[in-house]
Structure 1
């Protein structure tokens, strides 16, 4: 894979804008919503609980009917390039974790351009503190905290274990594992493509949020996954981040999903019979 810095504007758009790479992306959005609506009808849950004052600082809480004390706590973080989508597209991904005994939190956050990426990272940090404090009340063990994110959500999940922790917050919750699915970790290319009209990164913000440069050390395990049908530049983000984690001394597994693109990779994530879904369940201590 050639250096993205040497790509033309057209090449950058093709490699680093998933919607440009998958012209029928809206079909996948509709599929997520349909599956999530079906799942919601059958899942126990408390919806739109609050962890902060922002319009979208909410989460859904799902507890298994026969929860055992000290259950693993799984947090799902949606994608959308920090500018779109919400937790309602991820409800169907709750099912396998809930069925295998985890307490599951499906997280929302405010979006660019109404807030900055810096603000979104802080919101997710606030959410983790809130979730860790609530865990005993939910029958979960905050020491078994597993954060799984897709796309921009994978970036946010990685930042929870790697970014400097705000001094005005309680102690940083220790993350037992990260599941990072089709993520973006070096934000340099984002400065050069059309999505930045909404995200509004500048060079300094991109640098302090490029988790590729400071991969997580204080995390038990990392699973990095991507689809082999994604553009080579996007695949390289995952491959390079996996190597950065290993150089930092963090246990990291790289799992390509054969034939998956940026959007349909969510289906094997939510399927315990698929290699990706099964690997995430094992990492969370659920299989």
Structure 2
């Protein structure tokens, strides 16, 4: 069997295995196992705060940028119901972003029960401030700063882009963000039914946790995506936030991926699954247009 055919057969088989594993909520190490170790440079375990969870990794494309060019910087927040997750699980996202020529910043952040709302949002804003301040050290453009997230991470990205208090606490504003990418995010999820989430979002501050409540018409452009078969986060969250943004004259693009589940929409960024959807191409088109 020719080498190219063998490689294609192996990749298709791995893609099938990864899809099955994700459906069963298996670890994402299967996705990361297919990621090459070349094509990017990783600088790990950089502190952006004093807590052990307040660390981040930076990934830079190995290929030199064009003379005088600075790369867009994308800060990616992972999901996990504001309770779980680790940046180490998202190598596949970092590789996807660097493959398109972007500097990828992947922070950890404090989660429940170590902190409750708004502690993790404060961390997100601090990580973005760090990314802006240090962008040029990694060949990035501080004026082309994007925030991106999946699930709870999309909530973090959207809230710091709508409620001005978080970035203001870091001497920044919404205008410092070139764009927001939200994948399967909860943006308008009250009332809360889950017992644990009632503690994650204390009653006294619960209304302040909803990005839809802070749209004023001065938000950065947004790309909001959801899978039609998402049973974890109601895709209506995406539509409701988009409707409010449009009502206020903000720029927003919405994409619904037919048949995609909550996990599949982010897994589609991984190399073995990338060719089966346009998720990465759509995200890249949004970033490049800004």
> What TM bracket, shorter-length normalisation?
0.7 to 0.9
The alignment's C-alpha RMSD in Å is 2.5
Residues 198-213 of structure 1: pairs in structure 2 closer than 5 A: 199-213=199-213
Post-superposition shift, 1:272?
A: 6.8
Post-superposition shift, 1:214?
A: 1.3
CA contact (8 A) 1:67 1:139 kept: no
Which position in structure 1 is the counterpart of 2:163?
A: 163
Supply the distance in 2 between the matched residues of 1:66 and 1:46 (Cα, whole angstroms): 16
Which structure has more relative contact order (CA 8 Å, sep 6+)? It is 1
Equivalent of residue 30 in structure 1, options 20, 26, 31:
26
In the alignment, structure 1 segments of 5+ residues that lack a partner are 1-23
CA separation of 1:284 and 1:233: change in aligned 2, threshold 3 A: closer
Which position in structure 2 is the counterpart of 1:184?
A: 186
Supply the distance in 1 between the matched residues of 2:112 and 2:24 (Cα, whole angstroms): 22
Q: Secondary structure at the match of 1:114?
A: coil
Residue by residue over 1:6-31, the C-alpha shift from the partner in whole angstroms, topping out at 9 and shown as x without a partner, is: xxxxxxxxxxxxxxxxxx99756435
Supply the distance in 2 between the matched residues of 1:231 and 1:29 (Cα, whole angstroms): 14
Post-superposition shift, 1:215?
A: 2.8
Equivalent of residue 41 in structure 2, options 30, 41, 44:
44
Which position in structure 1 is the counterpart of 2:59?
A: 62
Q: Secondary structure at the match of 1:147?
A: strand
CA contact (8 A) 1:74 1:102 kept: yes
What number of residue pairs does the alignment pair up?
A: 262
Supply the distance in 1 between the matched residues of 2:87 and 2:70 (Cα, whole angstroms): 25
Superposition TM-score, scaled by structure 1 size: 0.83
Residues 1-287 of structure 1: pairs in structure 2 closer than 5 A: 29-39=25-35, 41-42=37-38, 43-68=40-65, 69-166=69-166, 167-172=168-173, 174-190=176-192, 192-196=193-197, 199-215=199-215, 217-231=217-231, 234-270=234-270, 271=274, 274-285=277-288
Larger radius of gyration: 2
Superposition TM-score, scaled by structure 2 size: 0.82
Deviation >6 Å, runs of 4+ = none
> Is the deviation greater in 115-124 or in 223-232?
223-232
